[in-house]
Structure formats: structure tokens, C-alpha cells
Amino acid sequence: MRRSKALPAVALFSSAALVLSACGGGGGGGDTEISNDVAAMAVAKGENESDASYTAPKVEDMGEVVVSTDKPYTTYNNATADGNNSYNTFALTLVQTGAYRLNGNEKVILNKDVMESVEVTSENPQVVTWKIKPGLKWSDGDSWDCDEFYMAWLAQSGKAKKADGSSFFQAAATNGHEQMDAKCEDATTFVGTFASPYPDYNGLFMNDVLPAHIGAQKAGVDDIKKITPSSTAELEKLADFWNTGWNGFDAAIMPGSGPYKITGYEQNQSVTLERNPEWAGNPGGPSKITLKAIPDPVAQAQALENGEVSVSFFAQPDANAADRLKGLEGQGVTFAASPGLSFEHFDLNFKNPVLADDAVRKAFFQCVNRQDIVDKLISNVQADAKPLGSLLFFPKDEGYTDVYSDKSTGSADEAKKTLEGAGYTQGADGIFEKGGQKVTFRISHTDIPRRKQTVELVQGHCKAAGIDIQDDTDPNFLDERVSNGDYDVALFAWSGGPWKSEKKSIYSTTGGQNWQGVSVPAADEALQSAVTQATQEKATPFYQTADKALADEYASLPLFQAPKMWSFKGVDRVYNQGYVGALWNANEWQTTS
Amino acid sequence: MIRYIIRRLLISLPILLLGSFLSYVLVASAGNPLAEMRARPGVTEQQVQELAAELGLDKPVIARYWDWLTSFVQGDWGTSVALGQARAEVFPSVTEALWVTGRLVVGAELLALVLGVSVGVLAAVRQYSIFDYLATSTAFLMFSMPIFCVAVIIKSYGIEFNNVLQSMGVDRWLTTAGPPTEGFTGSIGDVIFKYTGTFLLPTLSLMLISFAAYSRFERASMLEIMHSDFVRTARAKGISNGRVVFRHAFRNALIPVATLFSLNFGAVLSGAIITERVFGWFGMGSLLVDSVRTFDPNMLMGWLAVTATLVVLFNLVADIVYGFLDPRIRLG
Amino acid sequence: MANVNLSSSTTASPAEVGGKGSSTHEFDSTTARTQGQLVRRRFLRHRLAMVSSAVFVLLCVFAFVGPLLWTFDYEDVSSRSYLPPSGEHPLGTTQVGKDTLALLMRGTGFSLQIAIVVAIVATFVGVLFGALAGYLRGFVDTALMRLVDLLLIVPQIAVAAIVVKGLSGSWYVVALVLATFGWMQIARITRGETLSLAQREFVEAARAAGATTPRIIFKHLVPNMIGSITVNATLAVATAVLAEAALSFLGLGVQLPDTSLGVIVNENYGQITTRPWLFWGPFVVIVLISLAVNFIGDGLRDAFDPRQTKVRA
């Protein structure tokens, strides 16, 4: 805890020192603003906070920069089910531009470099109009316009079905595209009409806007818009290409629409980005960005320490690497960590006879000491980490209220009282029982060390409350077992973010991913209302109601957000964004002295 | 000779088939590579099933093995089935990894061999000298060392050494995270600087262990031969000491080392894998660990195919080297 | 792995092994000594081997008796995380707040357990297969030696990876994988010795008297090879400790809740500069075990076969 204060203080001090030396006339060429205050770096320089929009700022050339992360980039088409992973997004965020950007605080920001506007033009039915700037081009010279949006919709909406009912395109997710009918009003105006109101429309076309001219060419048509969900023959060809054609590397079919384009790729090793000459906005600072994959976190930290990379960012926390990097502050290395977009949680299975009893669930919530878990597993990496207080919101979200801290107090005594009050008695072995049924259950999880450690800690916490917990480590737990509800308590992570419609399938009674069998009528009703609001602001109160109702049922206990971490030296304004990694604002990077 | 080689290859064939079958079945039935997909919010069971069908994961394991085998013999190594791997082609993935590991191993092993044999011979010739004690106890110590700890220590001190260099105003020399992506470019001086900087630390870690084995081995067999009858006879005939050592003893003492060198393949491979891991290189080691971790039998098969080929090759080479070093052995 | 039987003794001083005075008095006593007594005496005189034996015994005490005496249980997670060494926690605590010393004892225990199981299984299988091959010859010999060739070249690391992920990461599974790859050397040596022993009169006599193959192997052949078997069994322990640590370091060995020295190093090697005690603790124990066992092996070799020492060292 103490460290959290120390870090900004040191940072402030050093930035003050820099300002002072600049005033003293030392060092030339320094009219770029330099700030080491990491929290402030979550907001990009080119961001206009008043209307939540972004335009790339003018920056100086900073030369080449080498960046590392944990895993390699694998495909140019990150929207496929088998290709989709964060590490692709980390590189593609600079290559494939889109209607919106996310800043470090997960605020959705309109990308004014390529968009005129995105507006809800009708409420009933909900119609959204995306107006694209005219004259935008891919790095191969072809235009970036409504066609691109159209193909993204066609591929991801799941509306293009084969005769047997399966989809032509193996898309990772439909994300709302399925609720929309699409039309290009003119070359730069895309109009989507929603069957029912959809509050998360600003998550569409943010990434995975792929080159439609390449798709059209592979499908053998001159205009992609001629392919509709019912033109089977062309769809066959397009889908064949879309599903696998963009895997691997071939510069000719992988142009850039953002400030950078891909110029080099070594499988499992690295991907190289260089400035896109056709980019309409201000050119980026780095002339070349090499994104290396270094599979071992400690090795990654050492590479930064040894000056081989200037920026390294990690999607998963690693205490060893974090410790190492923190120790390098004296050498001008900045280390930072912030809550990531996935959160660990316990799902209590209502089909289990022991856990079906409200008192047992309540007692379990009470005995788990979440603060201890966070202190031991997370605060080594992220000093100001706190237990998460909501299943639907993150603390940075508008509308977050902590509805779990009064329920999960980490007090064995309270848990005991709860059980005693419900008629349980402590047996000779110290474990509570009622009617011959002992309060004992398993916590099941995959073989990730942190989960194993979590269970170890909880076993200790709840033993004191007379609750017996067994550890069930199963590398294959997320396969059939979790979806069949074959567990007592499941420990795994959901990812969250600004868009919450997808939560409905997890927490409503009939939801496809409601494997624990939770059923709270109040939450069902609130979730149904939330996902049919026209905007996120209107949806928020409904989500809050659902969140509260779920908490009162003692169904799932959120533990913490897994932090992401990053570290850099000699580069200004690096922030590891939860969705898109550290390169989201790399076009703004500058060298620091 | 050629008949001998063909016979050897034919003997290995059923073994390789059995091995590939067992590995495939074990890994493929250990888990579902698409399991993590269910933990993505909003993903429907139908999507998971459709992708499984597309990747051929819906078939029984035996059928999947048969599919793999039939395409493999036709030269198609298949694609990865792991989630997030975007059906990466197996063949280029494996060859890329082999290239990374190979560059590391070949240099380290050759150095270890040359150094190990010379130290072993010298120690044997100067038995009980200070050099002998130093060499043998170093070898003994290295032999009892866990290689991964040695690599961890070497790397840590390498970085310290760089810091010292930098404080003296010299460029940082040693690198730790694999070869530079742009390759070795620049003037000849630059290339040498970069090349040595890249390979020194991992090569050193790998070399030390193999060196210990080779020098111990060479010293022992050298001593045995120097005490053997034919060497004693040669000495008695009045042949000079140097000639006895190099013409008679050395050549024969190389035979067991040659055996070790070729049979050591497994040990060298695991050494390389560990070194790679410590230095964060993505080579054969990471490929193996990842393919097993993600239940990706196709990638694993590619890995096994490459290693098996190398193993068979190494055995052949060992046999041929015997014949060359020891005229009593005839291949046929 | 392959070189253990040819390795020379690096430890015996020239005076001890080369000096005539020391080696002659074994035979000048008027009362005849049994082979066992001679071996014991020679081993006891091997100073490094004796020191190593003491170290090894201490390590065993540390691993198996230590946890009973030590205040912290390895499962106790109540301490704060990453405490520096202190009187209370001589090696500090780990990330989840376990006492590192308690964990180290448990890890040492698992590592020794694995190594000893590997040595026993590998020796048994190696001696059995080697003796069978050498005694029966013909098809059995060819088949077994092909198996040896196969296992010598199959990368153990791949098999371990597959088995540990596919079946289970318990300590005995890892031990069995290691044993599967540890018996070939012993089998080769045993086969060689059997080939020559089988020609001797006493074996001929036993066979003529109608002794069964198992009886000949275990009553007549094995007792005559006890020297090389013991030496190689000892050295197999050292090899197994290192191999297990390497596998676990890669995450392909023992899986939690079981642990081992390799697992502890794997969890903590990143701390080598920040919290060195977390790395050097398990490192020193691994090196101690492997050095001690290698020295004991050398001592045993010298004791069983003084001739070899004189020629080699």
C-alpha cells in the first residue's frame, strides 16, 4: 500500500527535475511536453475531452523503437474465431483504423482522423449513421470507405448462412452486428438499422475493419456491396478467403489504413510496422516499430533492463517481472500497472445441494478474505489494487457501485454466526453440518498458478469458519465441465469492458452461458431492459439494478481485476490499454532524454 | 553402406509410427483446444461446435490421427488447431523454431566438443598436474550443476557486465532476448559485435554443461588407452611421445566421445530448450511446451517429425564416424 | 547420462590411489576378509565420499525430519508476502506468504523421493533387462537392445511434456517418466557383464543342476555384479535430481500441489537479483545433493574396484 504513494511522488519529483533542467537551458529540441505521471498517460495527447474525440497530433520523428509483449501476433484478420486473440489487436491497432478508439481509461473516443460523425438518427427503430471522412485510403492506394464497414458487417453479423444453417464466416463474435441491417447510403455513409434498440453501437467498427477491395477481388466481384447474405456463390468464395486467407503474412493483401502498416513478420518472433504513407492524419512519431514476442515475463523484463527493448507490456501480471522492473527506477525505467479488463470470480453452483442453501453461500462470501487475496497475489504488481465490487461494472466505469464489500468481509466469525443462525452445528472435526450434510465443496479451476494460489488462500480463510474446501485443479476445466455445470464452485475469469450487453447471457435465467443456474427474476427483468436501451447512459441504471439483485442472491463473488503491466525507458507517454495494448497511442510517442 | 542406411531407416519406421500414434492420442485426448472459447462472453455453444467441425476436432481421436497421417505422408503437415493461432501452418512454424534453436545448439556443441576434447586430452597427458586437478574438478562441478540455474546466473551477470561496459562509455554488447529482428547488418565490425553479443551468453550456458561431459569422457578414455597394451608397445618401440599421444591414443580415444556426441542428442535438446526458456527465445522448446499446453497435436507431430528425423540422422552419422575412426568396425 | 560409467575419479588423491603402501596392506593381513569387509573399509577411507555421505544424510534429515520440528507448515499462508529473511523466517516468505524454509524442506523431500524411486526402478529394470538380454541372447537380446536404442534417442522432454499434461503431474508420474529414461545405461552394463559371467563354470553348473532362469539371474549373476550395480544406482540418483529439476523448471515436471526443488526455482528465479535468497536456497540444495551423490558414487567405485581407480585416476 505504501508503494502506491511513493510511485507518483517519485515520478512527480523526476518530472519536476526535468522541467527545472529545461528551464536552465539544458538540452535542445525539447518543446515536446514530457510527463512521467503515468495515470495522466491514459488520456492520449490528441484527445479532445470535451467531445470525446481524437485527432492524431503533430509529433516529431523519434526513430525506431523496439517493443515487446508476451506472445506473438498471428493473423491480420483478428475477427475469426480461431485467430482472435489480444496479441493480434496489440499490433493491428495501429494498422487497421476504425470508427472509435479506446483510451487508457476505457473511454470510447470518436476517431476524428477518419470519421465525420456517428449519430443515432432515429430512435424507433434505432437507426445509426456512420459518416466517414471522404478521400481516405489504404496504404495500397485503394479507398477506405463504406465498403469496409459493409464487409465487416457481412462477415460478423452471422446473417450469411449456409443451407445447413451454419455460418459462412467463422467469426469470433457477433457483437451486435446480428441485430442490425446494413446499407451504404453513399460511398462514405453507412446506415445501420437495429431490430431492437442496441446501446453498445459504438463498439461496432472499432477494430477488424478489413480491406473490402481485397475481399471483393478474392470473391471475384467488382463491388463488395453486391454480395448480400443471400448471394451464396460469392459468399462461399469470400468466406473461404476471409476465414483463413489473411493468416500468415503477405504484404500485398495486408495493407494499412491506420498510421502504420505491416512491413515484416517472423512467425512466433516479431512483427514490424512502418509509417503508412497514405495515412490522412498526422504521421506517427516512431519511424518503425518492432513488436517482439518474448514468452517469458522475466526474460522480457531483463530485455528492457538490458536496453534491447524500450517498451515492454504484459497482458498478464507477473510478480517476478514486476519486482525486477520496479527495482530499475533508478536507471530511468518507469514501471506501471493498472487493472485489466478481465476479472476473476467464484461462481457458486445452485445445483449443488450444499450451496443451494442461502446460508452456506452467504457464509462462504463472508469467510473469503478478498483483501488478503489481493494483497498477496496482486499488490506486488499493482500496489493500489482493491477487491472488485461488481459483476457488471469496473471501478473506472460510469455507474460503478461496490455491492460486495459488505457481503464478503473476510470474517470467519461472521461466517460462523451465519451458519449457526441457520441451524448448522460444528462437528468434531470443526466442520459445520446440518442434517448429516457437511459444509464441504470443491473449487474447480484450470492449472493457472495464480488460481491455485487463490484456492490455497481461501482454504485457509474458510477453514477458520468451519467450511471445508477442496482444491480441484483440472487443466481441461473450461471444456465440457464448466458448460455442463459440473462443479461446486468455479474459479475463472470473464472479460468485461464498456459494452455490457453480452453480460445478459451469463446472468439471466435462460442465458446461454449461465452454467451455474442462477435465477433472479429482478435481475432478468433489469438485464432485458438494459440491453434494449438506445444508449449506454440509459442502460446504466438497469445494469445497476441487476448487479444489486445478483449480489443479494450470493450467486457469484467477484475477486479482482487481473492487472496488466508495462514498463518503458526513454519513451514518453506509454500506457497499456486493456483491449488494445500499449501501441494504441504509439503514433504519439516521443523520445525522452 | 547404402543398404545399411536403408535398413536402419526401415527399422526406425515402425517405432516412429508407434511413437507418433501414442503422442497424438495422448495429447489429443488430454483436452479440447477450443475450451477457452467458452469463457468469452457472448459466445454460443453453436459457434464452438461450428469451429470444432471446421478444424476437424469433432471426430474421434483415432480418426483425427488417421487424417493427420494420411496428409502427412502426402507432404501436408497440417495447421495448428490451437485457439488464437489462426491455423498457423505447422511446417514453417517448426522450421522457424528449428532455425532459432539450431543456430544456438550447433555453435555451442562444436565449441564444447573442441574445448572438452582438448582439455580432456591435456588433463590425461598431464595427469595429476595442477591443470588436471583444475580441469577435472571444474568438470565435476559443472556436471553436478542444474543447467537452468547456470543459465539464470550467467544471464544475470551478463546484464551487470553490460552496465559496467556502459558506465565505461562503451556500447552495450550482450543481448539477451534473441537475435535482432533485422538480422545482422552493418559493417563487418558491427556484425561481429552484434553476433557475439547475441550468442555469447546462451552459448556459454549451453556449452558449459556439454563441455563437462566431453572433457570428463575424453580424459577417461584417453587414460584407458594410454595404459593399454598397444600404446605401451608403441612406446617400447621408441616412438616419440607426441606421436604416441596423437597418432595412437588420441584417435582411439575419440571413439567414445563420438558416441556420446551423437547419443547426447536428447540431453543437448533439453539443454537448448532450457537455455531458450531462460533467454526468452522462441525456439523448439517453446514450440513443444506451447503445443502440449494448448492441446495442439498437429503442431506437436510436426515437432516430433523434425526431432525424429534429426535423431535418426545423428545415429547414422555416429555409425559412420565410428567406421572412420575405428577401422575394425565395418558397416554392412 | 550416458557417461557415468566411464567417468573417472577426480577425487582420490594420488597418495591414496597410486601409493603402493596404501593399497598393499589390504592383502597383508593374516586373517582373510570377506569381499564386503574389504569394500566397506575402502569406502570408509575415501574421505570425500564419507563427507558426502554425511551431507546426504543431513539433507535427508532436513527433508524428512525437518518439517516435523520446524514451526511453520508448508501449507501455512498466514504470513505476509515476500518477507525478507529474519529470525522467524530464515529464508523469508514466498509471494503467498509461505515460509520459504518449510517449502524448501518439502521440495527437497519430493526431489529426493523422486530421485530414489527413479534410481530403484531404473536399477531394477536395467539389471533385469540387461541380465535377460545377456543371458538369454538371441531374439530377447535383440529386442531389448532395440528398445534401449529407441529410448536413448527419444527426447525425454517431449515424453514428459505429453505424459504430465495428458495424465497427471504427481511426483510419482514424473518419477516413472524419469525411470523410463534412466535404465538403459544400467541395462547395457549389466548385459556386458552378464555376457562374460554366463560363460563361467558356476553358471554352467547351476544350469546343469536345473536352476530356472530367474534363479540363475538373481542368485548367481546379480550378486556377482553388485559392485557396478550399486555404483550406477547411486549415480542414477544424481542424474534424476538434475533431470527432475530441469523438467519442473520448464513446467513439464511435478505440478502443484506436489512440489520439488525445480518447481521452487521455477517460481523464484526471477528474484535472483531482487530477493536472492529465494533463488540461491533451492539452487544450493540441488547442487549439494548432486555433488554429494556423485562423490559417494565415486567412493563406491573406488571401493568396489580398486584396480579401475589405479588405472584411471
Q: Which three cell numbers stand for residue B294?
A: 494448448
Mean per-residue pLDDT over chain A, rounded: 86
A221 bridge partner residues: none
Looking at residues C158-170, what average pLDDT do you find?
79
**ipTM field:** 0.83
Pull the grid cell for residue A244.
483463413
Q: pLDDT, tens digit, for every residue of C280-290?
A: 888 889 989 98
A306 and B172 in contact by Cβ < 8 A?
yes
Q: In this structure, what C-alpha cell is assigned to residue A477? A: 476445466
Q: Which of B6, B206, B246, B13 is nearest to B115 (CA)?
A: B206
Average pLDDT over residues A137-150: 93
Grid cell locating B317 = 552419422
Whether A460 contacts chain C with CB within 8 A:
yes
Chain C within 8 Å of B259 (Cβ-Cβ)? yes
For residue A410, pLDDT beyond 70: yes
The partner residue sitting opposite A327, judged by closest CB among C81, C257, C274, is C274
pLDDT > 70 fraction of chain B, expressed in percent and rounded: 94
* A193 confidence band (pLDDT: 50, 70, 90): very high
Q: For A53-63, b where at least 16 C-beta lie within 10 A, e where not — what string?
A: bbbbbebeebe
Nearest CA in chain C to B160: C273
Q: What is the predicted pLDDT for the residue at A175?
A: 75
pLDDT value at C66 more than 90: no
Contact A587, A94 (CB under 8 A): yes
Task: For residue C19, name the pLDDT band (cuts at 50, 70, 90).
Answer: very low
Q: Position A386: which residue type? A: K
The per-residue pLDDT for range A230-249, each reduced to its tens digit, is 888 889 999 999 998 998 88
Q: Which of residues 179-238 of A touch B (CB under 8 A)?
A: none
Secondary structure (H, E, C), A38-68:
HHHHHCCCCEECCCCEECCCCCCCCEEEEEE
Rounded CA-CA distance B276/B284 in Å is: 8
C255 interface with A at CB cutoff 8 Å: yes
Report pLDDT for A118. 92
Considering only CB atoms, B274 lies closest to which of C1, C8, C246, namely: C246
Supply the pLDDT for residue A16.
33
Residue C23 pLDDT = 42
Q: Which CATH superfamily is domain C36-304 in?
A: MetI-like (1.10.3720.10)
pLDDT at A583 (0 to 100): 93
C270 contacts chain A (CB < 8 A): yes
**Mean pLDDT across chain B, nearest whole number?**
82
Which chains have at least 3 CB atom pairs separated by less than 8 Å from chain C?
A: A, B
Q: Cβ contact (<8 Å) for C96 and A456?
A: yes
Task: Give the pLDDT confidence score for residue C5 in this predicted structure.
Answer: 37
The answer to whether the beta carbons of residues A507 and A523 sit under 8 Å apart is yes
CA–CA distance, B322 with A547 (Å, rounded to integer): 75
**Closest CA in chain B for residue A162:** B50
Counting as contact any 3 or more CB pairs under 8 A, the partners of A are B, C
Of C156, C250, C312, nearest to B223 by CB-CB distance is: C312
Chain B residues within an 8 Å CB radius of C150: 15
The residue ranges of every structural domain in chain B are 94-147+200-325
Q: How far is CA B68 from the centre of its chain?
A: 26
Mean pLDDT of C195-209: 83
Report the gap between the CA of B63 and the closest CA in chain A (Å). 21
pLDDT confidence bin for C227, thresholds 50/70/90:
confident
Could you read off the pLDDT of A244-303 as tens digits, one per residue?
899 888 999 999 999 999 999 988 889 999 999 999 999 999 999 999 998 888 889 989
> How many other CB atoms sit within 10 Å of the CB of residue C219?
12
pLDDT at C310: 40
Q: Are C95 and A376 in contact (CB under 8 A)?
A: yes
Give the pLDDT confidence score for residue B1 in this predicted structure.
66
- In chain B, residues with a C-beta closer than 8 Å to the C-beta of C146 are 11, 15
Among the partner-chain residues B41, B50, B51, the one whose CB lies closest to the CB of A505 is B41
Q: What is the pLDDT of residues A499-508, one digit of tens each?
A: 888 888 889 8
Domain chopping of chain C, boundaries:
36-304
Identify the structural domains of chain A with CATH numbers, from first to last: 108-244 (3.90.76.10), 341-563 (3.10.105.10)
Sheet strands side by side (includes A189-194)? A115-123, A126-132, A189-194, A180-186
pLDDT value at residue C32: 59
Q: How far apart are CA A524 and CA A546, in angstroms?
A: 7
Q: Does A296 touch chain B (CB under 8 A)?
A: yes
Indicate yes or no: CB of C82 within 8 angstroms of CB of A380: yes
Report residue C298 as a C-alpha cell: 565415486
Contact A573, A41 (CB under 8 A): yes
Question: Would you say B195 and B187 are in contact if contact means Cβ atoms under 8 Å apart?
Answer: no
Per-residue pLDDT tens over the stretch B174-221: 887 777 766 777 788 878 888 888 888 888 888 887 888 888 888 888
CA distance A276 to A358: 59
Pairing of strands A489-495, A440-445: parallel
pLDDT of res. B30: 79
- Scanning B159-198 for CB atoms below 8 A from A yields 159, 162, 172, 174-178, 181-182
Q: A81, B280: Cβ pair inside 8 Å?
A: no
Residue B143 near chain C (CB below 8 Å) = yes
So what's the architecture of B94-147+200-325 in CATH? Orthogonal Bundle (1.10)
Name the burial class of residue B257, with classes exposed (0-12), middle (13-18) and buried (19+) by CB atoms within 10 angstroms of its CB: buried
Query: Which of A323, A325, A331 to probe by mutation at the C interface, max C CB count within 10 Å?
Result: A323
Q: Do B86 and A77 touch (CB under 8 A)?
A: yes
pLDDT of residue C3: 36
**Cβ atoms within 10 Å, residue A476:** 16
**Chain C interface includes A301 (CB < 8 A):** yes
pLDDT digits (tens, 9 = 90+) for C263-274: 888 888 878 878
pTM recorded for the entire structure: 0.83
A69 forms beta bridges with A293
